[in-house]
Amino acid sequence: MSSRSIRIGLCGFGVVGQGVFDHLNKKRKALGALLGADMSVTRIAVREKGKKRDVAVDEGIITSDPISIATDPEIDIVCELMGGTNTAREVTVAALKAGKIVVTANKALLCDHGKELLSIAQQYGGHVLFEASVAGGIPVIKAIREGLVINDFSSIYGILNGTCNYILTRMANEGLSYQEILVEAKELGYAEADESLDVDGIDAAHKAVVLAYLAHGKWVDFKNVRLQGIKEVSQEDILFAKDNGYAVKLIAVVNRERGGKALHVSVLPTLVERRSSLGSVDGVFNAVSIHGDVVGETVYIGPGAGRHATASAVISDIVDAAKLLIFGGPEGRFPFLDSAPKNGGGIDIARPDEIHSRYYVRLVVMDQPGVMAEIASILASHKVSLASVTQKEVPEKAERASLIITTHLTTEEAILRAVADLEGLTILEEKPFCMPIGTIS
């Protein structure tokens, strides 16, 4: 029989919370043998008592007060699985001030309050573990924090939102529009009723901020993340990608610019080569490509969301928390261990004129003489050099043409200014659509 008991409190009992509870119970004996300690969920905080759930739970351990779990001296590990940032922050702060280990899957909480929470953890002798906050079942945080600890990271590229990848994959495979697939994705449970967090790129951007901290020790302000979702991606973009050996993916980028002194973080629809490490990752899967100076490129692919994948990552952190409690010193006290010890204080945010890429631009214009000359003149005025131009008639719009332009290498500043000027042309029928052409290996 295990010699020590470790008591876990779950704050939040939705899809992920129930998955954690279920798998911890099923694996209780195996975990006890592995750790020499009996791990059990002894308290659960829910929004609605009496609600029907997928797992059987003793009503005696259920409360509607998550703070009472965070401050309960009998609880060793607090799992924050509520989502949102207000109550979640209050619970996390209360638990850390009580010197506890907090396990969270909440990337928005970390993005908005990560620096504060780690400071409180250090002050009061607690820890924050957050493997499940990025890419669900893929152990990418452990890879950066532990397996690749000797590396400096020049770039990280990621498909970090399964809903977006699912929609873009079906657009490519079935020729359907974004809107048609979104309706079906909601019916199948792949997209939330309010899909904006996913399709506007916000969810992926929260995760990119966490990755930037882990890799470089710097918390990037969310407003400094260049962000664009997938709503404006059309079948024309998908077809161009197919015809030219690319795939359209929503790609999160964490890159070092200016010789490693500036950090560029973005989440944008991107043309990536189909044969590249991320170009062939389809459906609801996530993928992360990490480039380290010692190891080279390592790639991690797997389910990025869902009860089982996220529960797997949460339980991984619970096991690490248990090891800290068991082996961390007298009475379970242990020194603060920052999950990203690198000092990012000297790293700036990269300016748009320091970010280089090739770009894809789609325009719908009036089909008349002089149009291309006018467009080329604007691009040239911003020193954006054309690599190719494709023109097609727009069948449903008489005397309208669709122009697809690709550029040679230029700066983000130059392309944004050029596109802004193009948007002001009277010959334009729709807002321009622009995305980078990725150079992922």
Q: b/e map of 58-71 (b: 16 or more CB within 10 Å)?
A: eeeebbeebbbbbb
CB 288 within 8 A of CB 136: no
Predicted confidence (pLDDT) per residue in 417-436, tens digit: 999 999 999 889 889 999 99
Nearest alpha carbon to residue 102 among 74, 81, 123, 73: 81
pTM value is 0.92
Active-site residue numbers? 207
Q: What size, in residues, is the chain?
A: 441
- Point out which residues pair with 400 in neighbouring strands: 366
**Mean pLDDT, residues 107-131:** 93
* Closest-CA residue to 105 (of 368, 317, 277, 323): 317
**Hey, what domains does the chain have and what are their CATH numbers?**
4-136+307-332 (3.40.50.720), 143-302 (3.30.360.10), 352-437 (3.30.70.260)
Dist. CA 215–CA 158, nearest whole Å = 13
Provide CB contacts within 8 A for 363, sequence distance 6+: 375, 402, 403, 404, 405, 422, 428, 430, 432
Task: With beta carbons less than 8 A apart as the criterion, state whether 40 and 67 touch.
Answer: no
Assess contact for 386 and 408: CB atoms under 8 A: yes
Q: Identify which has the larger pLDDT, 413 or 328.
A: 413
Per-residue model confidence (pLDDT) at position 408? 97
**CA atoms within a 13 Å half-sphere pointing along the CA-CB vector of 376:** 8
The pLDDT tens digits for 18-33 are 999 999 999 999 999 9
Residue 260 amino acid letter: G
Residues 6+ apart with CB under 8 A from 367: 393, 399, 400, 401
Q: Per the structure block, which two tokens stand in for 321?
A: 């928390």
Question: Strand 285-292 to strand 433-437: parallel, antiparallel, or no bridges (unpaired)?
Answer: unpaired
Looking at residue 86, its pLDDT comes to: 93
Rg of the Cα atoms in the chain: 24
* Per-residue pLDDT at 1: 43
What does the mean pLDDT of the chain come to?
90
Tell me the C-alpha distance between 25 and 265, whole Å: 39
- What is the pLDDT at residue 261? 87
Classify the phi-psi angles of 387: left when phi > 0, otherwise alpha if psi is within -120 to 50, otherwise beta.
alpha
- Separation of alpha carbons 36 and 319, rounded Å: 11
User: What is the distance between the alpha carbons of residues 182 and 203, in angstroms, rounded to a whole number?
Assistant: 17
Q: pLDDT digits over 311-337, tens only? A: 898 999 999 999 888 887 555 556 667
Distance CA 422, CA 375 (A): 7
pLDDT tens for each residue of 148-191: 989 999 999 999 999 999 999 999 999 999 999 988 888 877 77
Whether the per-residue pLDDT at 85 is higher than 60: the answer is: yes
Banded model confidence at residue 343, pLDDT cuts 50, 70, 90? confident
**In whole angstroms, what is the distance from residue 178 CA to residue 170 CA?**
9
Per mean pLDDT, which of 4-18, 135-149, 338-352 is the most reliable? 4-18
